[in-house]
Structure 1
C-alpha cells in the first residue's frame, strides 16, 4: 500500500520518540494493576497541559468520541441544550443532543467571525433555561477561533454547564480549563498534541459530575458513557481494554510539550500562523476568516476558476502530497493549511507552501511572488 505524505489539519506528524513508544512491550491492561495507576498518572499529566485539576479521562477512540460521550452523559430526554454555532462542527453538536433525547436550541452566527460574546449575553438575558451549552474552540473546517475565556464564564453566570470541543485547539491555543470554568473539555491526541490517533480526552468538572449523578434516567450508552469510569482506581480496573501502547505514546508526546514549555509551544504556533496568513494574502489569495483566526489552521479561499478540489487532486497526482480542502458547502472553496503540533515548524510549513505555490501556478494562478519566500519574509519581519 502506498501512503502519500500528508499536510492536513490533523492527524499531524508524530515525532520519532513518540512512535518508538508504540513499540514497547506492554502487559495485559485488563489485569495489570500497575497499568491502572500509570493510566491515572498520564491523565493527570494531560490535565496539567490542559490547565485543570478536574478529573481527566482518556477514552479509547478518536476525538469525536469525547464530544458524543459528553452529550450522552449530560443529556436526558427533554433537556434544552444551547448549541452555539459558527462552524460546521459547532452546528453538528445538535445531532448528538437529539440522539440522546435532548432539545437543541441552535444559536447561529457568521461562519467567518468568532462568536460575538455580547450577542450571546443579550440572548441569555431573554432565555437561559438550558442544562448545558456547547461550542467549539477551533472549528477546523473554517479555521475560526472562539474566545473560550469569555464564553464559558458567561454561560456559567447563568448556571449553564459548558461543553467545549477543543480537539483542534488544545496545545496550539491556550485552553486553561479551570481558569475558564469549562465543565467538560474535549480533545483528541492526533491534532496539536501530535500523538497517534486513538485516544479521546475529556476533563470533567465537579458540577458536570453532579449533573450526571442527579440524572433521573440512565445514560443511553455504554461506550459513550463517562460514568463507567467512576471509581476505576479503587476498583483497580478500567471499563474496557485500554490501548496501552497509545497511552505510552501520548505520555511521550506530553513530555515533548512540557519540555519545550507550553508558552514556547503557543508562541511557536502563533508565529507560524501569523506568517502563513500574511504570506497567503501577500501572494494574492484571500483568507476565509474575517476575524478570530486560529493559530492551528489557516483556511484559504481558492479562486473558483481553479477550485479547491481540483487543486487538491492535482497536488496529489503531481507532487505526491495530500492537502486538505474543507467540508460540506466549503469543500470546493477552501484549502486548509494545518500548522499544529509537529507540523508547526518552519521547514515543514515552507515545504507545503512551496508545493501549493507550484500547484496553483500549474493551474494558471499567477501569485505575487513566491509563496514560500513570502512566508520566510513574514517570519523575519516578526523577529
Structure 2
C-alpha cells in the first residue's frame, strides 16, 4: 500500500487509460484534441482564466523551466523560503546566472513577511528591482501549507512576477491561481496519475515577460507551449497525457469542493489518530496541509518507516535533509485522501511506534 506524498497510488481506471493503444502525438489530431481538452479541464482544477499548459517532464521540470523562461542573466530574483523546495529555487536562479536573494524563515515557521518587504524595498532603492519572486504553497517535506496571500500582496505592491510551486497542493486544496503568474503542478501528486507531466497556469504578463526574455533552451522553456496549434515542441508523452486526462476527469466528476472536503476529512482523521497516540505534528496543525501530515518523531522516523513496510506492507515517507530521521509523513492526497485508508495506515503506525 503506497501512502507517500507523491508519487501517489494510481486508481485502476487511470492505469487502464495509460495502457491503451495511444494516438501518434505528432500526427493524429485526436491527440491534440485530447491535450486541448485536458488543458481546459485543468483550468477548472486551477480555478483560473489563465492559460494552462502540460509539458512533458516530471514536476521539477516545471520549477526549472519557470526560472529558465523568466530569468535572464543578471536579473534579480527573491526566493522566499521556509523549506527544502523554497531553498532549491535559489539554486535554479544561480544556475541560470540570475542574482538570487534568499529570504529564509525556519522550517517550522511561516514566511518572514518583514524580511521579504525589506529585500524588495532595498533592491528597488538600489536601482536593481526584483523582477521575479519564487515561493512554495505546500512544503511537502514538512507538511507545511504556506499562506500565499500576504506575500502576493507584497509582490503586487512592488510589481514582481510570482512563480509558485503548488505541486503538492493543487487538486487537494484551493490555490489562488489568478493572483499568480506561473503556478506549477505535477501529475503524480493530488491528481494521482503516474509521474511524467508538469502542469502550469501562466498569466498574460508572464507570457509577455518570456517573449521579452527570449529563452534559448528547448526543453526547459515554457514559451513554446503557449501555442501548439502547429505542433508540440517535442514528441509528447501520449500515455501519460491519457492517464492525466482520466485522473483530472475523475476530480471534476466528483466536484472540486467535494474533493477539498475529502482531503480535509482525511487529514483530520490522520491527525486525530496521531494525537491519540501522543504524536506531535510538524510544524503544528494550524499550518499543516490537508494533503500530507508530518509526524515529528525525532531520531526514530526511518526505523518506524521500515518497520511499517516490513510488517504491514505499507510504504510511508520520511522527510529530507536534516529532518530525514525526525519526520514520518503520511500522504493522504489524491486517491489516498480516504478516511478508511487513513485508518489502516494509522493502525499500522500504532502497532509500530514504541
Q: Hey, what's the Cα distance between the residues in 1 that align with 2:250 and 2:132?
A: 34
The question of 1:250 aligning with 2:248 is answered no
The question of 1:11 aligning with 2:28 is answered no
* Aligned residue runs from structure 1 range 306-321, under 5 A: 307-321=300-314
Paired position in structure 2 for 1:267: 261
Aligned to 1:7, the other structure's residue is in SS state coil
The question of 1:25 aligning with 2:29 is answered no
Runs of 4 or more off by more than 3 Å in structure 1?
Answer: 116-128
The question of 1:298 aligning with 2:261 is answered no
Paired position in structure 2 for 1:152: 152
**TM-score when scaled to structure 1?**
0.87
Paired position in structure 1 for 2:137: 137
Give unpaired runs (5+ residues) of structure 2.
none
Aligned with residue 329 of structure 2, among 326, 331, 336:
336
Q: Hey, what's the Cα distance between the residues in 2 that align with 1:144 and 1:116?
A: 15
Give the drift of 1:220: 4.6
- Give aligned pairs, total: 349
Q: Is the 8 A contact 2:298 2:325 kept in 1?
A: no
Worse-matched range after superposition: 19-28 or 328-337: 19-28
Q: Is the 8 A contact 2:103 2:112 kept in 1?
A: no
Compute the RMSD of aligned alpha carbons. 1.6
Aligned with residue 345 of structure 1, among 330, 335, 338:
338
Aligned to 1:171, the other structure's residue is in SS state coil
Paired position in structure 2 for 1:166: 166
Per-residue CA deviations over 1:78-131 (Å, capped at 9, x if unaligned) read 111000010011111011111111011000112112225455345534445211
Aligned with residue 115 of structure 1, among 106, 111, 117:
111
Paired position in structure 2 for 1:373: none
Q: Is the 8 A contact 1:162 1:183 kept in 2?
A: yes
Per-residue CA deviations over 1:235-256 (Å, capped at 9, x if unaligned) read 2x11111122221221211111
Per-residue CA deviations over 1:110-162 (Å, capped at 9, x if unaligned) read 21122254553455344452110000000000011111233223312211000
The question of 1:89 aligning with 2:85 is answered yes
Worse-matched range after superposition: 22-31 or 258-267: 22-31
Q: Hey, what's the Cα distance between the residues in 2 that align with 1:28 and 1:263?
A: 35
Q: Hey, what's the Cα distance between the residues in 2 that align with 1:107 and 1:176?
A: 22
Per-residue CA deviations over 1:219-278 (Å, capped at 9, x if unaligned) read 252211112224321x2x111111222212212111111111111111111122123223
Give the drift of 1:51: 1.2
Larger radius of gyration: 1
Aligned to 1:175, the other structure's residue is in SS state coil
Aligned with residue 278 of structure 1, among 262, 272, 279:
272
Evaluate the alpha carbon distance shift between residue 275 and residue 316 of structure 1 in structure 2; reply closer, same or farther with a 3 A threshold. closer
Paired position in structure 2 for 1:177: 177
The question of 1:71 aligning with 2:67 is answered yes
Aligned with residue 97 of structure 2, among 98, 101, 116:
101
Paired position in structure 2 for 1:204: 202
Q: Is the 8 A contact 1:100 1:220 kept in 2?
A: no
Q: Hey, what's the Cα distance between the residues in 2 that align with 1:176 and 1:301?
A: 29
Give unpaired runs (5+ residues) of structure 1.
366-383
**TM-score when scaled to structure 2?**
0.94
